[in-house]
């Protein structure tokens, strides 16, 4: 069956996201736009996942636990997990490898933690907007050991993309999907990067604003509307 998805959405925990990216606002906007499945992928943190998942469960929207990791090489990776506790386990590793620098809201933006009623329950003091000290290979191994999936983020962009930073998508990393920004012209991208024609691609909103969430633009064929089914569709190539 076909399900409409947007697998890269930031909540108000991400310092570059608007403060109205609250759990209820995200879920309600996703439903208004006709989505079936979303993933919340805040920068280097999972702090608002539980609240968004609870709201999604309440309103019939499947929410995938996720994170957008910034590696030591300053590559952004969309990391998706089968369960909240596995995402939180990965977060512990990431937090152990973040800079000790504290967030400055006046410079970097607010990092708001919320409950499932959109009440603020705290502010994350760690600086989430910088690179972690986790290298890409370690991050891949760690996520996959937790039965998660990694997708290189916005590979068409100049900033924070694996393609631009490394000059290639190493085949030994075993990716099945690469992510494209929502406005990327696919034919032009492939014409410029013919060696990447063997990959499958998924567009996401990478939204930091409510209005930017995808409409019914990207669909995945899944056996059922479950996290397990979605992750199975995105899994690494079989050797």
The label of the residue with tokens 């075993």 reads 174
Tens-digit pLDDT profile for residues 195-236: 999 999 999 999 999 999 999 999 999 999 999 999 999 996
Residues 24-59 have pLDDT tens digits of 999 999 999 999 999 999 999 999 999 999 999 999
Q: How far apart are CA 172 and CA 43, in angstroms?
A: 25
Sequence length of the chain is 239
pLDDT (tens digit per residue) in 148-175: 999 999 999 999 999 999 999 999 999 9
- pLDDT classification of 238: cutoffs 50, 70, 90: very low
User: Mind listing the pLDDT tens digit for each residue in 60-106?
Assistant: 999 999 999 999 999 999 999 999 999 999 999 999 999 999 999 99
CA–CA dist 23, 54 (Å, integer): 9
CA distance 125 to 119: 18
CATH fit for domain 2-234, picks 3.30.465.10, 3.40.50.2020, 3.20.20.140, 3.90.79.10 = 3.20.20.140
DSSP for 142-154, please give it: HHHHTT-EEEE--
- How far is residue 20's CA from residue 178's CA, in Å, rounded to a whole number? 29
């Amino acid at each position: 069956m076909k399900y409409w998805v947007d697998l890269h959405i930031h909540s108000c925990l991400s310092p570059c996201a608007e403060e109205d990216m609250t759990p209820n606002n995200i879920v309600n906007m996703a439903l208004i736009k006709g989505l079936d499945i979303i993933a919340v992928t805040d920068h280097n943190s999972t702090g608002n996942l539980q609240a968004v998942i609870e709201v999604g469960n309440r309103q019939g929207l499947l929410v995938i636990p996720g994170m957008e990791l910034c590696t030591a090489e300053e590559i952004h990776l969309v990391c998706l997990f089968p369960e909240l506790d596995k995402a939180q386990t990965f977060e512990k590793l990431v937090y152990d490898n973040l800079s000790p620098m504290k967030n400055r809201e006046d410079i970097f933006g607010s990092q708001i933690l919320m409950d499932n009623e959109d009440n603020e329950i705290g502010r994350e003091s760690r600086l989430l907007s910088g690179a972690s000290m986790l290298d890409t290979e370690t991050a891949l191994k760690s996520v996959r050991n937790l039965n998660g999936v990694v997708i290189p983020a916005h590979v068409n962009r100049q900033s924070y993309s694996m393609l631009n930073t490394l000059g290639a998508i190493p085949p030994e990393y075993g990716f099945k999907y690469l992510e494209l920004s929502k406005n990327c012209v696919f034919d032009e991208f492939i014409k410029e990067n013919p060696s990447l024609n063997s990959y499958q691609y998924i567009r996401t909103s990478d939204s930091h604003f409510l209005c930017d969430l995808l409409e019914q633009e990207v669909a995945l064929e899944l056996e059922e509307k479950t996290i397990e089914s979605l992750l199975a569709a995105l899994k690494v190539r079989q050797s």
